Chain A
């Protein structure tokens, strides 16, 4: 009864008022690139990579929690803090890299959107302009409250993957035993996918996004304990969806030894094995995830760059007032959607390059975050405890090690 009293109606309402940033960030995390990586992981290695989701979830929670805490305590975005504490040079190179990698990510999102719509028989010449327009319209015409509600509703569509996983009729006993006692391979392709999974789940731009969203929501240090649950819940949901994607592909494609290259292949291959609905649900999830991420990425990127560089930003400003903001935003959407328009453009090398820059960027973002969160002048009593620091540093070093491996292997292949 005591627990129930703790969760009184008032508390639940209070929690509902604070959720959003964590869940939305986590959902955008499972974007087109993420779905492709998890699909390939499931199709090529069955359940053998499932165990990695546990350390990935822990790492994600530890890092996202720091970003959210910084937002709540300082009331400032990450780009702002980096500029004020590390100066213009560091900020400039960081923002430049963020632009390049998010341009790559935006392309991946539009490619995912076009591919998913092709499964439904819509040509990319139609789906791309419509998608780009939807993204633009949502941002220019929407207010945060409305947009946030749409995004929260869109997060629910990710549960199509849960159904996809169920439709593939997996043996849950096998799934569980593979999570707890995995059969690891440790050959180079296995390692590549493992690193890819880490890279796609823990991306630099998410930390910027989450921190700004927490600031935006007006979450203060004293509400932070409640807000933390939003972050943890979001991370758990992200990896639950990832698990479902892997299970859906493992139970079908892996069993029949079907090799796939991307998420569209996975959706198409599911039809004869798990039925038409599994395939449609998979494609629907992909379309939703791609468009969702495509509407957040360009805007968020333009916003952080302007915040860090000290340029005016915001869609309620005119082009004359905020030229840099509109140029960055427009370039990201036009290039992101435009390049996918031409099928002859080699998408795979572009994706690889974007992944490499992502990998180079992540260590720096993590190091900046660790330095900022331990700055007593900024964080007061909310700095990391010693134990927290040990965990955060080990995770960061492990991530840095893995991303260096990823960058090297991408460059060498």
Chain B
């Protein structure tokens, strides 16, 4: 039920409810409304209590919704005396609308960007007051400043612009952990590139909060999409356990690049927490200079023993389920991992099932030494129109491959394309 379709007269704005007078059963004014507390667990969260500020610097009091007799923008009546209400401790599930949402920045998952909450719209539904939407329009700004007449002058461009609450994600690190987790679940459905764009506008602790909440795979993809300078800091701010889990999900070459940007002790700690095999590959990659073939290669490639037939090779591929970018070229190696030849996925599929892979492979492989300069690698890939190029050591042992997208990054650094800083962007 989108908020905007609800009837008039039933709607409230949080900003207008601020400072509404609150009366108790005897008709005595006991204070003014300071905040509205909602329960975050529900889809359109209902108001569960009111925070009432008594006059003369007394401590604000929390009043449960069942003690509220009537609720209007002009006045609120309680069904008891203020003194009868006991103190209720804060719980994890609750959210203070004015303190924690109004004027703060939130993520709009539909528009996929960070926006500022200019006002919050609530509606009376079956006797409950529920949060329906946030207003992000300039109209709301003018209304709150008491300058409504200006927006009428300016016409339709100044109309309210609501973001339905179901598309709202809280990102403030001050919001209680549990409510934040509920809210952030919606972020996970976005494309990692969109999440990364939003991340670039968040503060460091907000980034950490968001990354912690995403599942490992999405978090890994998101980090890979972030500006390189932010990747290492984002990881460094996280708990080491979680950070190492995310590293395991990343492509080894990206993980190695990232670790190279971290302080050595931190990198060591993360590597020690990782699974042995993945950590070993990354350690290996870290030993090559950043600008060499070894520095940009990945160790995720598909090697086929020279003794296999076409059918057996297809079986091997099925078993290994290689990543998309490394499936097009299959490298033939002997028992000591010497590179003997290469064939494409196409070659494999059109080959007779019983044929030995050595019979249709190309033995004159275009390859690079692990210390080759990255520009030279990119040049070779471009010259021979390759999707990937194998990287070998002096003894012709296959070490890894450089894929075409990593080679493009050499020529056009990703940082340039992605990162526009805030002031100058």
Contacts and interface: CB of A to CB of B under 8 A. Distances in A.
A34 B115 CA distance: 37
Interface string B141-174: 1001100000000000000000000000000001
A325 to B, nearest CB: 11
Interface in A284-326: 299-300, 303, 309-311, 314-316, 324
B424 interface: yes
Contact of A212 (B206, B230, B423): B423
Given A75-B203, A144-B421, A83 B103 contact: yes
A215 B204 CA distance: 10
Contacts of A144: 420-421, 423-425
A8 interface: no
B229 A310 contact: no
Interface stretch (A85-93, A152-160, A240-248): A85-93
Given A143-B420, A220-B204, A92 B425 contact: no
Contact of A88 (B141, B206, B422): B141
A216 interface: yes
Contact of B136 (A143, A310, A324): A310
B421 A88 contact: no
B198 to A, nearest CB: 13
Interface size on A, as a range, is: 20 to 34
Contact of A310 (B118, B202, B203, B230): B118
A384 interface: no
Contact of B145 (A89, A147, A215, A377): A89
Q: Which of B141, B202, B422 is most buried by chain A, counting CB atoms within 10 A of its CB?
A: B422
A278 interface: no
Interface in A127-158: 139, 142-144, 147
B292 interface: no
B416 interface: yes
A66 interface: no
Nearest to A217: B421
Nearest to A324: B138
B420 A218 contact: no
Contact of A143 (B116, B174, B424): B424
Nearest to A138: B424
A148 B145 CA distance: 37
Contacts of A300: 423
A74 interface: yes
A314 B425 CA distance: 4
Interface in A54-111: 74-77, 80, 83-84, 87-89, 92
Interface residues of B, number: 28
B373 interface: no
B104 interface: yes
Nearest to B18: A87
B205 A218 contact: no
A218 B145 contact: no
A213 interface: yes
Contacts of B144: 88-89
Given A84-B104, A88-B144, A216 B423 contact: yes
A75 B204 contact: yes
Contact of B174 (A88, A92, A299, A377): A377
Does more than half of chain A's interface fall in helix, strand or loop, or is it mixed? helix
A88 to B, nearest CB: 5
A76 B424 CA distance: 16
A333 to B, nearest CB: 15
A76 B425 contact: no
Interface string B198-236: 000011111000000000000000000000011001000
Given A212-B422, A314-B425, A218 B141 contact: no
A92 B136 CA distance: 16
A140 to B, nearest CB: 9
B185 to A, nearest CB: 24
Interface in B409-425: 416, 420-425
A216 B421 contact: yes
Contacts of A316: 420, 425
Q: Which of B141, B174, B424 is most buried by chain A, counting CB atoms within 10 A of its CB?
A: B424
B203 A74 contact: yes
Q: Which of B136, B145, B203, B230 is most buried by chain A, counting CB atoms within 10 A of its CB?
A: B203
Q: Which of B103, B118, B205, B206 is most buried by chain A, counting CB atoms within 10 A of its CB?
A: B103
Interface string B167-191: 0000000100000000000000000
A76 B203 contact: yes
A83 B115 CA distance: 13
A68 B229 CA distance: 20
Interface in B376-425: 416, 420-425
Interface in B115-138: 115-118, 136, 138
Contacts of A92: 141, 145
A147 B420 CA distance: 12
Contacts of B421: 143-144, 216
A186 B385 CA distance: 80
A139 B145 CA distance: 32
A218 B205 CA distance: 12
A83 B116 contact: yes
A92 B142 CA distance: 10
Interface string B327-344: 000000000000000000
A147 B230 CA distance: 20
Nearest to A89: B145
Nearest to B147: A92
Contacts of B174: 377
Contacts of B141: 88, 92, 309-310
What are the 3 closest A-B residue pairs judged by CB atoms, nearest first?
A: A310-B116, A75-B203, A144-B421
Interface of B: 103-105, 115-118, 136, 138, 141, 144-145, 174, 202-206, 229-230, 233, 416, 420-425
Interface of A: 74-77, 80, 83-84, 87-89, 92, 139, 142-144, 147, 212-213, 215-216, 218, 220, 299-300, 303, 309-311, 314-316, 324, 377
14 contacts: A75-B204, A84-B103, A84-B104, A88-B145, A89-B145, A144-B420, A144-B421, A144-B424, A144-B425, A216-B421, A310-B105, A310-B118, A315-B424, A315-B425
Given A80-B105, A87-B103, A310-B118, 15 more contacts: A75-B202, A75-B203, A75-B206, A76-B203, A88-B145, A92-B141, A142-B424, A143-B424, A220-B233, A300-B423, A309-B138, A314-B425, A315-B425, A324-B138, A377-B174
